[in-house]
Amino acid sequence: MWVGGPVPPGSAAITLGRLVIVRCASAGNERLMRHELVHVRQWAELGVVGFLRAYLGSYFRSRWEGLGHREAYLRIPLEVQAEQEALGATAGDGRGWAMTAGAETDEEPPLESGPSAG
């Protein structure tokens, strides 16, 4: 994990393969860390090409269908899975989710993660 490394604007963390980069202010967020560790596993299971195809393919399909950035991001199945597992949830239709715990505080919804922007 790289705390304080480069994270895309609007994101609390990003996972690239086995590397999790997280903003300093978000480093203590246990839910976010669980979310990002799911992305580490997804990268390992799918490989670079498989992960990027699934992640970016879903995002761009949603954008093509007219969804905005946030809506498209929230519908990426890899993000849905990561958030459900981070929250300890197992149910869901995979069509979207709303984050419930903040990256910066426990009261605000967290910023998005990056590709994983997870």
Beta pairing partners, 113? 117
Each residue's pLDDT tens digit, 13-70: 999 999 999 999 999 999 999 999 999 999 999 999 999 999 999 999 999 999 999 9
**Is the per-residue pLDDT at 11 higher than 50?**
yes
pLDDT at residue 110 in the model = 43
The better pLDDT of the pair 4, 40 is held by: 40
Q: Is 11 helix (H, G, I), strand (E, B) or coil?
A: strand
The better pLDDT of the pair 97, 76 is held by: 76
pLDDT at residue 108 in the model = 33
pLDDT at residue 115 in the model = 58
How does the average pLDDT of the chain come out, rounded? 81
Render the burial of 35-74: b for 16+ CB within 10 Å, e for the rest: bbbbbbebbeeeeeeebeeebeebbeebeeeebeeeebbb
Mean pLDDT for the stretch of residues 102-113: 39
